[in-house]
């Protein structure tokens, strides 16, 4: 994700993170608010602004953690659900080029273009597989995704055990991938 944000910054401004960090060091902002105001004036907004603020004032612990550490944290109090994530991750490469990104509370699956699915342990007994399926109506196990951490998903399938990652679930994953390449 960081790489994507860095590329976005350079594409928008013509300068990389190192160049912006040098400008910020010269300016010596007293607070994050002051820095953000100045960056906005320079046309640096959104994720690139967030990145430069963290470069200057420090990163939250969860952003310094590695993928394994983040995932272990997600399942620390619900280890019986970890095999569901593992089963979904085993299936993902069969869909095509998939990038797996761990976040603090969920894992995203991305096509080369964008997020197509997320995997989120939502309770002590369920993992939700969120799918970005534009114009899809709920049917069967497929329900509307109302409050998942990844806002791009529109549908979800609740899973309670790894053996529920069956042909139907893989087919929905395949459809979400195809809709987002």
As a whole number, mean pLDDT of residues 27-44 equals: 96
Give tens-digit pLDDT for 82-116. 999 999 999 999 999 999 999 889 999 999 999 99
Name residues whose C-beta falls within 8 Å of residue 6's C-beta, 6 or more positions apart in sequence: 16, 17, 51
Q: What is the DSSP string of 111-174?
A: -SSSEEEEEEE-SSS-EEEEE--TTPPPBTTBEE--S-SSTT--EEEEESSGGG--HHHHHHHH
Tokens of 3: 């790489």
Q: Where are the domains of the chain?
A: 2-59, 67-178
Whether 1 shows a pLDDT value over 90: the answer reads: no
Whether 63 shows a pLDDT value over 90: the answer reads: no
d(CA 62, CA 40): 26
Whether 59 shows a pLDDT value over 90: the answer reads: no
> First-to-last CA distance in the chain?
18
Mutual angle of helices 46-57 and 17-27, in 10-degree steps: 60
pTM above 0.75, yes or no: no
Give tens-digit pLDDT for 116-164. 999 999 999 999 999 999 999 999 999 999 877 667 899 999 999 999 9
Check residue 146 and give its pLDDT.
82
């Amino acid at each position: 994700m960081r790489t994507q944000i860095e590329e976005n910054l350079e594409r928008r401004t013509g300068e990389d993170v190192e160049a912006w960090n040098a400008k910020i060091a010269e300016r010596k902002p007293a607070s994050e608010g002051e820095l953000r105001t100045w960056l906005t004036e320079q046309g640096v907004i959104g994720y690139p602004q967030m990145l430069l603020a963290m470069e200057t004032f420090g990163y939250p612990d969860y952003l310094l953690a590695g993928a394994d550490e983040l995932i272990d944290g997600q399942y620390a109090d619900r280890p019986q659900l970890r095999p569901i994530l593992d089963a979904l991750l085993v299936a993902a490469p069969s869909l095509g080029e998939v990038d797996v990104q761990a976040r603090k509370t969920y894992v995203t699956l991305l096509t080369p273009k964008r997020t197509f699915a997320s995997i989120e342990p939502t309770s002590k007994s369920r993992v939700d597989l969120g799918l970005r399926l534009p114009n899809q109506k709920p049917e069967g196990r497929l329900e509307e995704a109302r409050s998942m951490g990844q806002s791009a998903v529109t549908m979800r399938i609740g899973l309670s055990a790894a053996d529920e990652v069956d042909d139907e679930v893989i087919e929905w994953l395949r459809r979400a991938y195809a809709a987002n390449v």
